[in-house]
Amino acid sequence: MEKVKNVKSIAVKFNLDDGISPDVKSKKRVLSEMEGIYYNNEELKKMLSKGNPIVYEFYDLDIPESEGNIKFGTTILYPGKVGNEFFMTKGHFHEILDTAEIYYCIRGHGYMLMENTEGNVEVQEMTAGISVYVPPGFAHRSINVSEKEPLISFFAYRADAGHDYKTIEMKGFRKLVLEKGGKPDIIDNPKWIK
């Protein structure tokens, strides 16, 4: 078996209150980068005419993307909605499809929406202390259903897994999480493309 060489140990701080690391620069995704991701793109455009808020930020540490390594960090998904659809991450499959991921929710209230290419859908509610196992083969998207708090989670996955964003950008997820009467409502996505 080949050994993973020349990787030093690292220690990184992630704050428990805001999920931010004071030591590392996060990647930020602003609303304009989410064009076509939300159900109501017209509403997104209206929002963009007033500003371009950060929807989420996450860490992509400089860990070699090879089989024996594990990438980890936090995702901070801010509260908000596009129309009645809660703020969410783009969502992706891993390029090496049969690779899993672990999320541990530090703060907030949300969902992990998952689906595989066979059409199986999994939804897990996330609150502080809950860890979610995203099984191999499942696309995954975090959704923040809180009106005021960020959804903060820690994640870890095989470092060489890679990210396929295109499939979700083209097809969408089979389910949407919308706000209905002050509560999250999980419905079939009428725009989902087979």
In the complex, the residues that contact Zn ion under the rule CB under 5 A are 101
Instruction: Extract the tokens encoding 187.
Output: 């419905």
Could you say which of 157, 158, 173, 178 contacts ligand S6P (CB under 6 A)? 157
Could you say which of 15, 24, 40, 90 contacts ligand S6P (CB under 6 A)? 90
Q: Which is nearer to Zn ion, 85 or 101 (CB)?
A: 101
Helices (H), the chain: 41-48, 166-171
Inter-residue contact 58 to 46 (CB < 8 Å): no
Q: Answer yes or no whether residue 144 interacts with ligand S6P by CB under 6 A.
A: no
Q: Answer yes or no whether residue 75 interacts with ligand S6P by CB under 6 A.
A: yes
Q: Answer yes or no whether residue 101 interacts with ligand S6P by CB under 6 A.
A: yes
Q: Answer yes or no whether residue 150 interacts with ligand S6P by CB under 6 A.
A: no
Q: Which stretch binds ligand S6P (CB under 6 A): 12-20, 84-92, 104-112, 174-182?
A: 84-92
Q: What are phi and psi of 46, to 5 degrees?
A: -60, -45
Instruction: Compute the distance between CA of residue 177 and CA of residue 45 in angstroms, rounded to an integer.
Output: 20
Question: Residue 70 forms beta bridges with which residues?
Answer: 158
Residue 99, contacted partner among Zn ion, ligand S6P, none, CB below 5-8 A by kind: none
Instruction: Compute the distance between CA of residue 26 and CA of residue 58 in angstroms, rounded to an integer.
Output: 5
CB of 75 to ligand S6P, least distance (A): 4
Instruction: Compute the distance between CA of residue 175 and CA of residue 114 in angstroms, rounded to an integer.
Output: 9
Residue 171, contacted partner among ligand S6P, Zn ion, none, CB below 5-8 A by kind: none
CB of 152 to Zn ion, least distance (A): 16
Q: Which stretch binds ligand S6P (CB under 6 A): 39-47, 87-95, 112-120, 185-193?
A: 87-95
Residues 6+ apart with CB under 8 A from 114: 121, 122, 123, 124, 134, 135, 138, 139, 140, 141
Instruction: Extract the tokens encoding 163.
Output: 């990210």
Q: Which is nearer to ligand S6P, 13 or 180 (CB)?
A: 13
Instruction: Compute the distance between CA of residue 137 and CA of residue 34 in angstroms, rounded to an integer.
Output: 23
